[in-house]
Structure 1
């Protein structure tokens, strides 16, 4: 019989050998756990929010407002921004004898897609923050104007009506009289451009154009009109057409027919959509 101590030593050695034989290749579990903690798994960074004024808002169009003026009653400002990166601006100095000025040029967006800078062909650039249907006039450092006059540095976008605008309307009735194209009379028509806030067309003799404004309740106002000066055999229709545009204050559209009205009187003019 072997001594007890020798047997105990042999048994311990066998257990140690068995334990070493169970170690995973490449290092023990403790080392692997340490390596795992020290090198965390890579996760995809969250995508930045791609939504901004430039790509999320219907920003092109015409904006109007009256901003403060140091030596007049205010500057009536009208700015049109187009999709092709161009602008037109008209500034009228209220309470002054001078009529104001107009300019045009290009505009660029900042890196955030929230501000535009207008660069006129002559003069200094001006920046605006673009909001939903509004432009905020910014100071020289590109910041929003604060204080008691902050609300006066806001230009509001013209109201739009997809049912009326960007379509060609053909005149079919004027002051209750049916209108058809014929000898000495061209086809009278109107087109309302939502981007520029201007109308164009023909009064049955001359080409006409001018500004218009839509307001709540299907109200419409035609601005000062420009016209070519051709003489036609039937000037009566052309003159009445011009008179109607100066008179009407609201409109309705039903079954593809546009009616221009004065208050609740019978329609002064009716149009159909061009086929």
Structure 2
């Protein structure tokens, strides 16, 4: 990986020099626009709509359009006076519980690596933050934009996650929220049963981008000169008569799917699933403070621990 930014974490009077790396990458298949006839690349020219002349890049400025359609032209000098920090610091503002930060605020993730002599204070802050079970709220200027961000620990490395500002989050003002929609107790019970049937430990490696794989296969077939085969469409299931029937059918399908995944056969799947269930629930109880299930009468629920796993 190549670092995209160098700076320092400012933690009280402690300064920790770091390098910043993009933690994620898009794996979409990219294309160029080409001439269908001969495959030639399509080029675009920067042409002014007023005089029709092609404009050199050095003569291009940023324009803000008013509601009237008029344009306010901003130059580099206008941007130079804006209060954007150039100190290359990641300023720690406060520490908060992890569950206080809604995931909708997160924009992009970056890894931080200690730079030069910053390894020891980096590890010190990392261990202290991990021990606290909290995340740091920080402010940083990246790519000509100042952002709030969180600083957390993942696999022994600081992860900087830039955040949207509060006024960038849209209000979900949907009409159904004002309606009095009645949910029957039996329906809620069946929905809860479906959730319990489908619960498990999240393993990202179990999922794949089927569209990208199929698209790559089409490209490879084109390269090799083979005929492209199209997969047969999947047969659609008959819609359920009502919500409760749909939930009940979903529970049965989830149980069947879980049995095939765990044991390959119906009998073996149930046995293997039963053997694996206690361990999974023990892990869940440890991480989230949720009591393990029992056929006996449940005791009063204990309050959740605020400390993150």
Instruction: State the TM-score, normalized to the length of structure 2.
Output: 0.16
Higher strand proportion = 1
Higher helix proportion = 2
* Bigger Cα Rg: 1
Ranked by relative contact order (alpha carbons within 8 Å, sequence separation 6 or more), the top structure is: 2
